[in-house]
Amino acid sequence: MDSDALDRATDVADVVVTQVRALDGFLQDREATDRLIVEEPLSIRLDDTLVTTTMRTPGHDLELAVGFCFTEGLLHDAPVVDVAHCAGVRFGRAIPTASAGETKLTQSNTVVVRTAGRAPVPTPRLGTTSSSCGWCGSEQLEALAARLEPVDVAATMDRATLMAVADRARAQQGLFRDTGASHGAAAFDGDANIVVLREDVGRHNAVDKVIGRLHLDDRTMVPSDWGLFVSGRASIEMVQKAWAAGFGTLIAVSAPTALAVDAARRAGMTLAGFVRDTGFNIYSPAPR
């Protein structure tokens, strides 16, 4: 069994809760089981350096680590020669077996991305990245513009396609249906086909898992007519990651930030927010 398959068994936890409901004009209590999303720390190392610890939902950890190193510009075009969990026991949680009698396997909450020393020694982030956001600020925009070339977009994606993608992505968010607490991210092509979709308690983690999967599939840069869907708001970090991977379009269920709009316009990306089956707002490119 592969390590990510083991992780997927621990992305939810069933907890006994007290449900309070209004019935016949009275509030009544009853005991029930609620399914909650799991949130645990994951430390990511690039060769011999610890670069970050992020709060994430277990599952697709290897993709998350590779995606983070790539979108943060830590690889500097160095190839990933290996990525693996460190040996050890998972933080506070046993790994269930897939079938009776199968030997139990354990993993640590540390993943090492190895480039055989070809990537420059990175500058670690200080502290822990929360599951709600990573670092951001106005200085990041200038750093992005210096590091990344504008996206080469041949044509604007059909508007009906963007609405179709949002519906298809939401339909595939099984973890959200179970818990109501996960974010989703999906890469899609020009025909609104979902290429890869991932979920996580953190928006940035879900995006890194998608981009990490593409990177491990030798798509270090996606076709510029592909797009990235995110289930929450479009922050500067979402634009950064989409830009780094070469996506020409970023669509979000919620609003973008002002800095994200500035970044998308600098990148030459299409950025759409409030995407619904009834319409959406286009923030980038600017209206003519």
Residue 145: predicted pLDDT: 77
Mean pLDDT of 215-238: 91
Lowest-confidence segment of 6-15, 83-92, 197-206, 273-282 by average pLDDT: 83-92
* Rounded average pLDDT over 14-29: 91
pLDDT band at 57 (very low <50, low <70, confident <90, very high): very high
The larger pLDDT score, comparing residue 102 to residue 161, is at 161
Whether 69 is catalytic is no
Give Cα separations from 60 to 80, 167, 198, 207 (angstroms): 16, 23, 8, 12
Share of the chain above pLDDT 90, in %: 64
**236, 141 contact by CB (below 8 A):** yes
Higher pLDDT, 144 or 9: 144
Q: Does residue 129 or residue 53 have the better pLDDT? A: 53
Residues 23 and 34: their CA atoms lie apart, in Å, by: 20
Q: Which residue of the set 69, 86, 133, 136 is catalytic?
A: 133
Q: What percent of the chain has pLDDT over 70?
A: 83
Beta bridge partners of residue 23, listed in sequence order = 26
Find the Cα–Cα–Cα–Cα dihedral 124, 125, 130, 134, rounded to 10°: -110
- At residue 93, does pLDDT exceed 80? no
pLDDT at 259 over 80: yes
Which domains does the chain possess?
A: 3-37 (no CATH), 40-147 (no CATH), 159-284 (3.40.140.10)
pLDDT at 96: 39
Check residue 143 and give its pLDDT.
Answer: 75
Helices (H), 9-83: 61-71
Q: Which of 227, 231, 226, 233 is nearest to 206 (CA)?
A: 231
Asked if residue 33 has pLDDT above 90, the reply is yes
pLDDT value, residue 108 = 75
- Residue 100: the pLDDT is 39
Least confident of 18-32, 134-148, 176-190: 134-148
The model's pTM? 0.85
Q: What mean pLDDT, rounded, does the chain reach?
A: 84
- Amino acid 146: pLDDT: 78
Tokens representing 263 are 């970044």
Say if residue 33 is exposed, middle or buried (CB neighbours under 10 Å; 0-12, 13-18, 19+): exposed
Please name the residues in contact with 277: beta carbons below 8 A apart, sequence gap of 6 or more: 163, 166, 167
**Over the stretch 128-146, which tens digit does the pLDDT of each residue have?**
555 555 444 566 677 777 7
Residue 229 scores a pLDDT above 90: yes
pLDDT at 32 over 90: yes
pLDDT at 125 exceeding the cut of 80? no
